Structure 1
Amino acid sequence: MNVLMITESYFGNTRRAAEAIRVGLQSRDATVTIGDAATGPALTGVDLLILGAPTHNMGLPKPASRRQAHEKGGQASTTGVAELLEALPGDLVCRVAVFDTVTGTGFFAGSAAKAIEKRLRRRSVTVIARTSFLVTSTQGPLADGEVDRAEQWGASLA
């Protein structure tokens, strides 16, 4: 199975979750490439596309929240998963899974993964799995047990 995982990460938390997901997928003999949403890797020959982003202001990062993350010491980026979703081909034929990193859970926490899935559904793309990984604060790290859970989730996708 050829897997392409595209992430957006400012403090490394979403990228760390992606790396753990990769370990889980590779344990099931998947070939995994991780790319940055800002560069928009090609989707040629992909069996499974995984999209991951941090939750900013209850949803996907936007230019204003990206600037805020940068002002707090995060990596700078002008584009991310939201813009990548707009550029996806209309005839996307691979399976898709989505994840995010969140600092809290519950109704008022919001979810970038839920926003990604909603945008994909508008394009008639079915998401086969969605999950969130908890971080201890904006700067992280991932909460206890989340790296192991990410590995398990990755293995389950293969």
Structure 2
Amino acid sequence: MNVLIVTESCFGNTRRFADAVVGGLTSRGAVVTVTAASDATPEMMNGVDLLLVGAPTHNRGLPGPASRRTAAAQGARPDVTGVAEWLDGMDEWRGRAAAFCSVSGTGFINGSAARKIVKKLQRYTIDVVGTENFLVGAAEGPPADGELERAEKWGASLVG
């Protein structure tokens, strides 16, 4: 199975979850490429069996220019563009996908970037096979206890 993971990470938490997911995927024999949304190209989608998209939750949804500026003012190092822009400009693609995000709190009160990713993916002919929110202690992190292990198990569960 060929997997592409496209991420956006401001404080590094979402990338840490992506790396944990990679561990689960590769334990089941998947070949995985991870890239920042700002570096993703249409050619990367060639031969992809499963697309994973991950981002931090900002303002109850996906990061945008204003929330990235706010994160930068708090010490983050966000890219200029991210998952929202990549999904909006993504070429037509058919296949299986899953979404994940980092979120502080329960996700019920704070929203979920993963839910917004799914809405954007559903504009295409994509079978969304999973969604997961991974908890962080605060915007700056660290991941909550047990969450990296949970991310690894989730990754393994996506290989069928």
Q: What SS does the aligned partner of 1:51 have?
A: strand
Q: Which residues of structure 2 form unaligned runs of 5+?
A: none
CA distance in 2, matches of 1:53, 1:106: 13
Partner residue, 1:13: 13
Task: Tell whether 2:143 aligns with 1:149.
Answer: no
Give 2:60's aligned residue. 58
Could you tell me how far apart the structure 2 residues matched to 1:6 and 1:106 are? 21
Give the length in aligned residue pairs.
157
CA deviation string 1:118-154 (max 9, x = no partner): 1111334231100000000111010000011000000
- Counterpart for residue 125 of structure 1: 126
1:73 to 59, 62, 75: 75
Q: Which structure: greater strand fraction?
A: 2
Question: Is the partner of 1:105 in helix, strand or coil?
Answer: coil
Q: Following the alignment from structure 1 to structure 2, what is the Cα–Cα distance between the partners of residues 107 and 128? A: 21
What's the C-alpha RMSD, in Å, of the aligned pairs?
A: 1.0
SS at match of 2:144: coil
The amino acid across from 2:86 in the alignment is L
Deviation of 1:106 after TM superposition, in Å, equals: 4.6
The answer to whether structure 1 residue 99 and structure 2 residue 97 are counterparts is no
Instruction: Mark the runs of 5 or more structure 1 residues left unpaired by the alignment.
Output: none
Name the aligned partner's letter for residue 46 of structure 1. V
TM-score (norm 1): 0.96
Alpha-carbon distance in structure 2 between the residues aligned to 1:137 and 1:117: 24
Question: Structure 1 counterpart of 2:31, which letter?
Answer: T
Relative to structure 1, is the Cα distance of residues 94 and 74 closer, same or farther in structure 2, using a 3 angstrom cutoff?
A: same
Offset at residue 39 of structure 1 (A): 1.2
Match of 1:46 in 2: 48
Q: Percent identity?
A: 54
Cα shift at 1:109: 1.3
Please give the secondary structure, in 2, of the residue aligned with 1:38. Answer: helix
